Amino acid sequence: MPKVVGKTTAKLQSRGRGRPRSDEAHQSILQAAYELVMEVGFTELTIEGVAARAGVGKPTIYRRWSSKARLVMDAFLAATNPELSFPNTGEVKEDIRLQMQKLVKIMNSPRGQVIATLIGGGQTDPEMIEAFVANWLSPRRKDCTQVIKKGIQRGEIRSDIDIEAVIDALYSPLFYRLLLKHAPLTEEFVDELINLIMPGLGGIDNS
């Protein structure tokens, strides 16, 4: 999705004057929302602007999304989901390390500011933080939970751990640095977190 920024309207126009079909409209709306949030930010993004760029009417958008926050969350997730998938190296420690490095790469790009803005805005906008948790954060945690469970099944991690606490311990420092910017987000920092936290889970090869 990020590679086609700015081409949504032209792409729709090339299909003719008719309204895009339902599935095409859905994808065009997501694309337009992602393009605009990257260009102008969440605050300045409007449903009118998304509708104009996607070549659809505002009612078409509101039939699918009840708010701007939910639309932006879906658009952001659609754009970043492929980049945030967990690899399957056969070792839980390496799977999580590589995925965390992908997340750091996104946080260090302009998309990191979008994440920070959505989290910050969500502190005073319950609907925005609800959309962020439901559409962006929870899917990532669910994926990580499955990776950790596989590690437990393979005997790499002991079975009595609190998986939610492990995920918090691994990922919270990344968001802390993203929001406060008191220290850099680097692959070396990811390595430090992995080497600090994973050995305490038991059954991990510390070599």
Taking only the tens place, the pLDDT of each residue in 96-112 is: 999 999 999 999 998 99
Q: Provide the 3-class DSSP secondary structure of residue 206.
A: coil
Contacts of 29 (CB under 8 A, 6+ apart): 50, 51, 54, 56, 60, 61, 64, 71, 75
Condensed to tens digits (0 to 9), the pLDDT of residues 164-175 reads 999 999 999 999
User: Hey, what CATH topology would domain 79-201 get?
Assistant: Tetracycline Repressor; domain 2 (1.10.357)
What confidence score (pLDDT) does residue 12 get? 46
Residue written as token pair 């990257």: 38
Length of the chain: 207
CA pseudo-torsion sign 133, 137, 138, 141: negative
Q: Which homologous superfamily does the CATH classification assign to the domain defined by 2-64?
A: Homeodomain-like (1.10.10.60)
Taking only Cα atoms into account, the Rg of the chain, rounded to an integer number of angstroms, comes to 19
- Residue 41 confidence (pLDDT): 86
Residue 116 tokens read as: 């920070």
Q: What torsion, rounded to 10 degrees, do the Cα atoms 59, 63, 67, 70 define?
A: -130
The residue with greater pLDDT, 111 or 6, is: 111
pLDDT band at 204 (very low <50, low <70, confident <90, very high): very low
Per-residue pLDDT of 114-167, as tens digits, reads 899 889 888 888 888 888 888 889 999 999 999 999 999 999 999 999 999 999
**Which positions ≥6 away from 6 have C-beta within 8 Å?**
35
The CATH 1.10.10.60 domain(s) of the chain lie at 2-64
- The string of pLDDT tens digits covering residues 8-63 is 544 444 444 444 568 899 999 999 999 999 999 888 999 999 999 999 999 999 99
Write down the mean pLDDT value for the chain. Answer: 87
Q: HEC states along 120-180? A: HHCCCCHHHHHHHHHHHHHHHHHHHHHHHHHHHHCCCCCCCCCHHHHHHHHHHHHHHHHHH
CATH 1.10.357.10 residue ranges in the chain?
A: 79-201
